[in-house]
Amino acid sequence: MKDFREILNNDSVYVFDGAIGTRFYDKGVYINKSYDELNLTVPELVREVHEEYVRAGADVIETNTFGATRHKLKQHSLEGKLREINITAAKIAQQAASENTFVAGAIGPLDLRIEPYGPTSFDEAKEMFAEQVSALLEGGVDLFVLETFSDLAEIQQAIRAIKNLTNIPIVAQIQIQTDGKTVFGATPEVFTKRLDEWGVDVIGLNCGVGPTHILNELENMRELTDKKLSAQPNAGLPRDVQGRQFYMCSPEYMSKFAKRFIKAGAKFIGGCCGTTPKHIKLMADSVRAISPRKTQIVVKETAKVSENKKKADVEPVSPLDRSKWSKKVAQGEFVTSVEVLPPKGVSAERTLKSIGFLKEAGVDAVNIPDGPRAQTRMSAQATAILVEQQLGIEAVLHYCCRDRNLLGMMSDLLGAAALGLHNLLIITGDPPKMGPYPDATAVFDIDSIGLTNMVNKLNHGLDLGNNPIGKPTAFSIGVGVNPGAINLDEEIRRFEWKVEAGAEYAITQPVYDTEQLQVFLDKISHVRIPIVAGIFPLISSRNAEFMHNEVPGVRVTQDILDRMRIASEKSKEHAREEGLAIARESLEEIKDQIQGVQVSAPFGKVKYALKVFDVLPQFSEIVTAKA
């Protein structure tokens, strides 16, 4: 049996499946049937639905047993098959699960009134739950999910039943109404504290309402407990269309809320009524982009660099000898770079010509993004090689985890080292949904933390499996960091892991709020490595609004938005000059607190980007002359 507690104790986010009943209905099984009986009558259909969710990216699938308690089964004269239905359901789910998929025993309310609202006693309710719990345990579940409960006394009996029989984890989810309360009037403040006291492992909300209401209350619950949180909303409220109930929230809409749930503190995200594998796929893509899996590569190997070094029996290349960029970073000198996008086609002539201005101006390196915004461009690695071989200026190669599996990344990195590339900026990568090919598959075998660890191992002469590779690579390891993250504590935790994994410098998202950057720098003083600030000169009011609203992790202050709006109303030229003035002011304010600057070239305008550098003493004369 897989140990669900292992993922409870890390900070990654995991995806539950969506509605099972909705899929049965879509496949022609109508609601006058017992969906729980399908485990016995058409097990292949049940397994098919589970497999759809596994393929969609679900980390946890729930057994088809929401109504498989004695009283509910009795309504279909199936109470005598309770044990068989639950055991079979668990086995079907385990057959459908992948190696890394957990199976949750799903338990719903009894559909009875228990004391003080009805004649069923607490102990009687507990025994009814215990019947189902025992059978699901025999079938082999990895955890239990108590879902769609409104009566706190009832869910307490389900918790008692589980704890009397096993110590495997419990996810307890409450159903709320649009006012945020249960039908019995319990508020999130009440039921969150009660579930915490009763010792469940995860506290959450599911069913009843759509993502907006779930999000509102989840934000309140975060302040009330240290337990992990879960969110499994319906795909909106159902609408009656010619006698049939339809849930109107699109997969795209639900995927947006997946990100918001994460920012609100949810560790487990999934769907309830109306959600389908399409919803879960896009939600999973969103989750992987923000919080990809941290595999054993990160968790178990990060602290073993010294052991690996001994095993490889090689001496790592000193940062002073890897590249000019690496040497300056290691010596604490101020570094400069400009970010230039790879060309869209097969010809790099125009891109190389513009980058030539950077070398003439004395910029240390050119940053080459790897499929930014999930756009299709020439390989960043190929562009970086052309830059170094034809222009003689060093490249900082962005390398993301989205497009390649572990083996592909290993091959790329070994090839990059053989071709003479030495400077890396390791990032997780934007999800394909952001780009022109939304159905493209995102891999995300590991995230930027895991990739940092992998590169560090290569620098110590070891591949992913700790096998010696001979001569070690000589990469300067950079990582991305976001001083404006909504969940700053989580960003700092991830930054700590990146440093532990081997990061040697970090480049920030574009900085428009210098006070925000200072707060971040103060908070990372205990793990401080050289910080290179990102500067993106704005060129219009629309550009400023886009950066603020549509580029993840970027916050443009209201003052800057107002300045760009006023300038844009005058003319394009006024807007460009105002954008440059803002960029120079930002760099002037922070240059003594950072170890370098990366200026982005908006729309490939390298000469425009170069003008930002004239606030630096070493560039004040040469930039003016060259630009």
Q: Are 202 and 229 in contact (CB under 8 A)?
A: yes
pTM above 0.85, yes or no: no
Ranking 64-73, 169-178, 319-328, 456-465 by mean pLDDT, the lowest is 456-465
**In the prediction, which pLDDT does 622 show?**
47
How far is CA 9 from each of CA 3, 6, 30, 201, 348, rounded to the nearest angstrom?
A: 11, 6, 40, 11, 47
- Listed in order, the ranges of the chain carrying CATH 3.20.20.220 are 297-626
pLDDT tens digits along 181-194: 999 999 999 999 99
Q: What is the mean predicted confidence (pLDDT) over 65-87?
A: 96
Q: Which of 175-179, 327-331, 404-408, 419-423 has the lowest mean pLDDT?
A: 404-408
Which CATH number is 297-626 given? 3.20.20.220
Residue 288's pLDDT band, with cuts at 50, 70 and 90, is: confident
Tell me the three state secondary structure of residue 284: helix
Report the SS3 class of residue 230: strand
- Residue 333 pLDDT exceeds 80: yes
Q: If we measure between CA atoms, which residue out of 204, 274, 202, 191 comes closest to residue 232?
A: 204
* 375 half-sphere exposure, CB direction, 13 A CA radius: 12
**Residue 287 near residue 258, CB atoms below 8 Å:** yes
* Confidence at 544, pLDDT banded by 50, 70, 90: very high
pLDDT digits (tens, 9 = 90+) for 211-232: 989 999 999 999 999 999 999 9
Tokens of 173: 């989810």
Query: What average pLDDT does this structure show over 509-533?
Result: 94
pLDDT digits (tens, 9 = 90+) for 442-490: 777 788 888 999 999 999 999 877 789 999 999 999 999 999 888 888 8
**pLDDT at residue 627 in the model:** 44
Higher pLDDT, 136 or 313: 136
pLDDT at position 465 = 73
Task: Read off the pLDDT band of 90 (50, 70, 90).
Answer: very high
* pLDDT over threshold 60, residue 625: no
Residue 304 has pLDDT above 50, yes or no: no
pLDDT higher than 70, residue 313: no
What is the average pLDDT score of the chain?
Answer: 89
Question: For residue 301, what pLDDT is reported?
Answer: 37
Which of helix, strand or coil describes residue 178? coil
Residue 239: predicted pLDDT: 60
CA-to-CA distance for 257 and 151, rounded, in angstroms? Answer: 27
Q: Categorize the per-residue pLDDT at 626 as very low, low, confident or very high, splitting at 50, 70 and 90.
A: very low
Q: What are phi and psi of 107, to 5 degrees?
A: -130, 125
Residue 306's pLDDT is 39
Range in 22-26, 107-111, 409-413, 415-419 with the lowest mean pLDDT: 22-26
Q: What Å distances lie between residue 73 and 36, 157, 161, 455, 557, CA to CA? A: 8, 19, 19, 55, 58
Share of the chain above pLDDT 70, in %: 91
The pLDDT of residue 10: 84
Highest mean pLDDT among 2-11, 573-582, 603-612: 573-582
pLDDT band at 287 (very low <50, low <70, confident <90, very high): confident
Q: Which residues of 423-445 are buried (b: 16+ CB within 10 A; e: fewer)?
A: bbbbbbbbbbbbeeeeeeebbbb
Domain span(s) for CATH 3.20.20.330 in the chain: 5-291
pLDDT single digits (tens) 371-402: 766 577 899 999 999 999 999 999 999 999 88
- The residue that leads in pLDDT, 287 or 534, is 534
Cβ neighbour number for residue 578 with a 10 Å cutoff: 24
Q: What is the pLDDT of residue 9?
A: 84
Strands 394-400 and 531-535: unpaired
Average pLDDT on 65-88 reads: 97
- C-alpha to C-alpha distance for 587 and 605, rounded to whole angstroms: 19
The pLDDT of residue 293 is above 60: no
Does residue 240 have a pLDDT over 90? Answer: no
Q: What is the pLDDT of residue 620?
A: 55
% of the chain at pLDDT higher than 90: 71
Give 410-418's long-range contacts (Cβ < 8 A, gap of 24+).
Answer: 410/454, 410/463, 410/464, 412/381, 413/454, 413/455, 413/458, 413/473, 413/475, 414/458, 414/469, 414/473, 415/381, 416/381, 416/384, 417/458, 417/473, 417/474, 417/475
The fold adopted by the segment(s) 5-291 is: TIM Barrel (3.20.20)
